[in-house]
């Protein structure tokens, strides 16, 4: 049975009810602080949000986060689609498409030139058939590097400790043969940092020349994304040569499926500095090993 509802733009006072809808739809509670950081604290501007409301309250959302983007034609605003939500009682009524079209109109008025996102299987079809999206990539590969094979086997696959230990020894021998690290003198010095200074702007200007499209990863964006984000803990390593910033890597640790996983969240280097990228990744892996991480992942 169809339930009546109407669409409107976000207004002050909707925040707490949207956090409640997030918990209902996704099963996890987003804090008011986290929501405010993402939707209203963005240095590129507040989020574009189209809402659905009924006598039950807010029952749907289509949100776009504005981001400064470098394109072939210069800098512009793009919109990242995030946290699309429809209350279970209101699904199957075309709410997703209606809210999407309204959000795009609102975004156009704000000067957003295009939108992009990473849809799950549930909304993939509707975006491409009813909202005019173009599929640029047939799936994003997930790369992993096991660091503690015995722990992975014991936690996820093998109950017998003896068999797990045997698999650990055999597997680590194979990994050491197949994935030998090239031995050479480091191309730079690596150290941890807790802030993003003006050198990151220069690095961004230099590195972005090699890309046709890219989120502007200057110091303002990096500070917002990794330093100011509530409820997350990131670690940043920088590569330097004679005080010149050559690159950085951002990492974090998290527990998934009973495994301790180290994520390579973000990496950027100056052009033609592949050895610097290698040194940064090596420093990240050493960081994870010291924290007894089971495997490293880079989407």
Last residue of a domain, one of 100, 130, 160: 130
Query: What average pLDDT score do residues 191-204 get?
Result: 96
Indicate whether 191 and 111 sit together in one domain.
Answer: no
The owner of tokens 């959000």 is 103
84: in domain: yes
pLDDT, tens only, 227-277: 999 999 999 999 999 889 999 999 999 998 789 999 999 999 999 888 999
Q: What is the pLDDT of residue 178?
A: 42
Q: What is the pLDDT of residue 177?
A: 42
Secondary structure tally for the chain: helices H, strands E: 9, 12
Indicate whether 155 and 90 sit together in one domain.
Answer: no
Q: Find the domain containing 179 and state its range.
A: 144-298
14: in domain: yes
- Angle CA 254–155–263, to nearest 5: 25
- Residue with the bigger pLDDT between 165 and 253: it is 253
Q: What is the pLDDT of residue 16?
A: 94
125 pLDDT band, cuts 50/70/90, is confident
Indicate whether 112 and 199 sit together in one domain.
Answer: no
Indicate whether 283 and 155 sit together in one domain.
Answer: yes
Indicate whether 45 and 166 sit together in one domain.
Answer: no
46: in domain: yes
* Total structural domains within the chain: 2
Q: What is the pLDDT of residue 161?
A: 56
186 pLDDT band, cuts 50/70/90, is confident
The CATH number covering residue 106 comes to 3.40.630.30
Indicate whether 157 and 288 sit together in one domain.
Answer: yes
- Cα separation of 177 and 170, whole Å? 11
Selection from 225, 285, 230 nearest residue 261 by Cα: 285
Indicate whether 148 and 290 sit together in one domain.
Answer: yes
Does pTM surpass 0.85? yes
Last residue of a domain, one of 87, 102, 130: 130
**What phi and psi, each to the nearest 5 degrees, are found at residue 135?**
-85, 110
pLDDT, tens only, 32-91: 999 999 999 999 999 999 999 999 999 999 999 999 999 999 999 999 999 999 999 999
Indicate whether 76 and 52 sit together in one domain.
Answer: yes
1: in domain: no
Lowest mean pLDDT among 16-20, 142-146, 168-172, 260-264: 168-172
Q: What is the pLDDT of residue 160?
A: 53
Q: What is the pLDDT of residue 172?
A: 54
139: in domain: no
Q: What is the pLDDT of residue 52?
A: 98
- Residue with the bigger pLDDT between 122 and 145: it is 145
Lowest mean pLDDT among 33-37, 169-173, 251-255, 293-297: 169-173
Indicate whether 15 and 92 sit together in one domain.
Answer: yes
pLDDT > 70: percent of the chain: 87
- Cα separation of 261 and 295, whole Å? 5
Indicate whether 226 and 262 sit together in one domain.
Answer: yes
Indicate whether 124 and 153 sit together in one domain.
Answer: no
Mean pLDDT over all residues of the chain? 88
Last residue of a domain, one of 96, 130, 164: 130
- Residue with the bigger pLDDT between 46 and 152: it is 46
138: in domain: no
Indicate whether 158 and 281 sit together in one domain.
Answer: yes
285: in domain: yes
135: in domain: no
159 pLDDT band, cuts 50/70/90, is low
Q: Flag whether pLDDT at 155 surpasses 70.
A: no
- Residue with the bigger pLDDT between 180 and 283: it is 283
């Amino acid at each position: 049975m169809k339930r009546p509802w109407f669409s409107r733009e976000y207004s002050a006072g909707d925040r707490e009810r949207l956090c409640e809808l997030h918990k209902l739809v996704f099963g996890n509670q987003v804090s008011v602080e986290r929501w405010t950081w993402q939707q209203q604290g963005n240095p590129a501007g507040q989020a574009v949000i189209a809402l659905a409301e009924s006598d039950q309250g807010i029952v749907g959302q289509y949100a776009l986060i504005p981001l400064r983007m470098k394109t072939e034609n210069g800098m512009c605003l793009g919109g990242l689609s995030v946290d699309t939500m429809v209350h279970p009682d209101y699904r199957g009524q075309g709410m997703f498409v209606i809210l999407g079209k309204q959000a795009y109109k609102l975004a156009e008025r704000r000067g957003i030139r295009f939108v992009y996102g990473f849809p799950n299987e549930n909304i993939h079809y509707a975006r491409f058939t009813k909202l005019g999206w173009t599929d640029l990539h047939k799936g994003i590969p997930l790369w992993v590097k096991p660091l503690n094979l015995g722990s992975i086997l014991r936690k996820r696959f093998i109950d017998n400790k003896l068999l797990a230990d045997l698999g650990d020894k055999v597997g680590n021998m194979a990994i050491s043969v197949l994935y030998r690290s090239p031995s050479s003198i480091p191309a730079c010095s690596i150290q941890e940092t807790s802030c993003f200074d003006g050198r990151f702007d220069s690095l961004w200007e230099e590195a972005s020349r090699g890309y046709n499209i890219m989120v502007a990863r200057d110091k303002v964006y990096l500070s917002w994304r990794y330093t100011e984000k509530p409820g997350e803990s990131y670690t940043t390593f920088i590569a330097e040569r004679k005080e010149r910033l050559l690159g950085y890597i951002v990492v974090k640790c998290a527990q998934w499926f009973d495994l301790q996983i180290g994520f390579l969240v973000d990496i950027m280097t100056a052009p033609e500095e592949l050895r610097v990228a290698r040194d940064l990744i090596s420093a990240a892996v050493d960081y994870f090993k010291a924290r007894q991480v089971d495997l490293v992942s880079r989407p």
